[in-house]
Amino acid sequence: MSPALEALMQADGTPYSAKGVMLEPFVHQVGGHSCVLRFGEQTICKPLIPREHQFYKNLPLEMRKFTPQYKGVVSVSFEEDEEGNLCLIAYPLHSESGDSENKDPSADCQEPKSKMLKWSNKKQSPLLQEKENYSKDRPRNSRKEDKIMSYNRDEVQQQQAEVLCFSLEKGNVVSQIKHNPWSLKCHQQQLQRMKENAKHRNQYKFILLENLTWRYRVPCVLDLKMGTRQHGDDASEEKKANQIRKCQQSTSASIGVRLCGMQVYQSDSGQIMFMNKYHGRKLTLAGFKEALYQFFHNGRRLRHELLSPVLRRLREMQAALEACESYRFYSSSLLIIYDGDPPRTPARPRHRGGEEGDEDEPSDEEEEEGEEEGAFGFPRSSSTSAAGGLSGGGSGRSSHRAGEASSPEVDVRMIDFAHTTCRHYGEDSVVHEGQDSGFIFGLQNLITIISQLEEHSTD
């Protein structure tokens, strides 16, 4: 174990040994097609894509507050545990001098491999539990099925629905969430790709990034695909045509943003809702506005105290992007995250920037009567009243103490830079001038829509 990786794991609270780190499914992934894995409480990892890796290593200073922190690179391999289950293990690299390409995976890892993966007679340990309820009595270190990413066909079929709602038992909601349907789909696809290549290759490079959800007990996450164009400059004609068609048939063309994934928790019904990108592509402008309303609604009232911090963050991001010369963030996403189970306090809300709210927040019961309409006055859809969210992977994440003036913990970040380009990328054949007008166009429209939602909530 390298000292650098060991230090990161200790800071992350991750159990470690000379055998490396067993990667777990990252249950709060709501969009994207790359498999995201949980390295530790504060760290996730995903397959290394050279262009994205280059972006993180050369990130402009003005952009750092709007992206996850980059933490390095590890080598990931398929192995068997003591019970014969298949699992993914992360090991340190010797160095990052050649980590932007995966030419010789066997040379990446300090730890020697005692065996290659054999695909026969392996135990299946499903991540999804039967029905809609999940075991909550197992200690964290013994949740073997949460770490082993093997799935049944029935489980894969369950994630095909574009919008799913699950009921949770009252009590410790946090401990009941073990997955979401989209993370399950991505893990299944990643395992299949690795399985197909297992005879030729057993090690892959993954980048380590900040886990943006770790501070929240019950993370509610919205993934928005930004910009009017999604294909990179190096896309094939087929890929280019496919991406153009998706944009034209969705809100990407009209407002520069479309829904790519969402998870929301509703405290009144104890339900969580998952909405995937296929549903997001079908949304009209009115449907997109309604989805935003659903995202900020906890089942009792609209969480309008979140809207001002989100708008402030979006405007700061817009100013930073307007200063980024020649960058194009094709196919990048915007994440909005907040806590679906915030600490209850009688104090007035204080925004993250330290500004006190103008008015005391009415109770859930006071606002419940006036929240029958959907966004901007049109009727609430059935999926709005049945929506829900997702709880975090652990308790005690909130930094607020009872009775303190608390700020709504809201985060807004850009993610996914596999198709990002700028003039500093010397190998690119196309050099763009000026700002990324498509991304900024999407930000402007998102700011307008959330501003209208804020105004509507105060009527």
pTM above 0.85, yes or no: no
pLDDT in tens, 203-224: 899 999 999 999 998 899 999 9
Flag whether 189 is in a domain. yes
* CA atoms of 437 and 335, how far apart (whole Å): 19
Flag whether 447 is in a domain. yes
Whether pLDDT at 259 is above 60: yes
Asked whether 262 and 225 are in contact (CB, 8 A), the reply is no
Classify 194 as helix, strand or coil.
Answer: helix
Flag whether 426 is in a domain. yes
User: What is the pLDDT, as a whole number, of residue 316?
Assistant: 97
pLDDT band at 182 (very low <50, low <70, confident <90, very high): confident
Flag whether 176 is in a domain. yes
Summarize the confidence of residues 111-125 as an average pLDDT: 32
Maximum distance among all alpha carbons in the chain? 66
pLDDT band at 36 (very low <50, low <70, confident <90, very high): very high
Whether pLDDT at 421 is above 70: yes
More confident residue, 369 or 299: 299
397 residue type, one letter: R
Residue 446 sits in a domain whose CATH number is 3.30.470.160
CB count in 10 Å sphere of residue 330: 22
Whether pLDDT at 404 is above 50: no
Flag whether 89 is in a domain. yes
45 residue type, one letter: C
User: What is the pLDDT, as a whole number, of residue 211?
Assistant: 97
Flag whether 66 is in a domain. yes
- Torsion over CA: 140, 133, 180, 127 (sign): positive
- Among residues 260, 306, 300, the alpha carbon closest in space to that of 162 is found at 260
| Per-chain mean pLDDT for the chain | 74
pLDDT in tens, 440-456: 999 999 999 999 999 98
pLDDT in tens, 127-147: 333 323 333 333 333 333 333
User: What is the pLDDT, as a whole number, of residue 270?
Assistant: 84
Summarize the confidence of residues 311-321 as an average pLDDT: 97
Whether pLDDT at 328 is above 90: yes
Flag whether 223 is in a domain. yes
H helices within 296-349, ranges in order?
Answer: 307-322
Task: Please state the φ and ψ torsions of residue 56, each to the nearest 5 degrees.
Answer: -65, -35
User: What is the pLDDT, as a whole number, of residue 387?
Assistant: 32
Beta pairing, strands 70-80 & 203-210: antiparallel
pLDDT band at 361 (very low <50, low <70, confident <90, very high): very low
Question: Exposure pattern of 115-136 as b/e (b: 16+ CB <10 Å)?
Answer: eebeeeeeeebbbbeeeeebee
Flag whether 136 is in a domain. no
Lowest model confidence (mean pLDDT) among 60-64, 157-161, 207-211, 407-411: 157-161
The total domain count for the chain is: 1
Range of the domain at 263: 3-104+161-341+409-456
The residue length of the chain stands at 459
